[in-house]
């Protein structure tokens, strides 16, 4: 092992991506499989792979799907890419996030309405359970 090659545990610690997820990203082809030791067949990662794992980690933190991360990684690796391609992926993701946020807001408002209609007492009747059992009635 050279000084620039590190184990999967070290790569996980440096990137914030678990060893299990690193192996998953290798299996699905999101990252290039690392070098393997001749004697022990252990995976050895270089700084480039660790940097890609950090990129993936940040993209996942922002909620990008694997398909989008694959496209973003490809664009990131291509130094001649047009930035409009990157922006288009990000803009589409913003629209998805905003739609999800609106749906969550709607669910929260409906649940708040149900909670306010429930007495929360010793009585057995409960509008929350009624609504779950008979939606829209």
SS (H, E, C) the chain: CCCCCECHHHHHHHHCCCHHHHHHHHHCCCCCCCEECCCCCCEEECHHHHHHHHHHHHHHHCCCCHHHHHHHHHHHHCCCCCHHHHHHHHHHHHHHHHHHHHHHHHHHHHHHHHHHHCCCCCCCCCHHHHHHHCCCC
pLDDT of residue 112: 96
**How far, in Å, CA of 52 to CA of 60, rounded?**
12
Q: What's residue 2's pLDDT?
A: 47
1-62: what fold?
Multidrug-efflux Transporter Regulator; Chain: A; Domain 2 (1.10.1660)
Supply 114's token pair.
């149900």
Instruction: Evaluate if residue 1 carries a pLDDT over 70.
Output: no
User: Does 136 score more than 80 pLDDT?
Assistant: no
- State the Cα–Cα distance between residues 27 and 33, nearest whole angstrom: 8
pLDDT digits (tens, 9 = 90+) for 20-75: 999 999 999 999 888 777 777 777 899 999 999 999 999 999 999 999 999 999 99
C-alpha 40/C-alpha 38 separation (Å) is 6
């Amino acid at each position: 092992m050279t000084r620039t090659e590190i184990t999967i545990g070290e790569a996980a610690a440096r990137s914030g991506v678990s060893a299990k997820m690193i192996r998953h990203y290798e299996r699905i082809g999101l990252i290039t499989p690392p070098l393997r030791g001749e004697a022990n067949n252990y995976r050895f990662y270089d700084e480039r792979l660790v940097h890609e794992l950090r990129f993936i980690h940040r993209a996942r933190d922002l909620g990008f799907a694997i398909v989008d991360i694959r496209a973003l990684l490809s664009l990131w690796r291509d130094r001649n890419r047009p930035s409009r391609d990157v922006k288009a992926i990000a803009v589409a993701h913003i629209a998805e996030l905003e739609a999800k946020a609106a749906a969550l807001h709607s669910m929260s408002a409906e649940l708040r309405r149900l909670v306010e209609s429930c007495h929360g007492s010793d009585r057995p009747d409960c509008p929350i359970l009624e609504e779950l059992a008979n939606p829209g009635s």
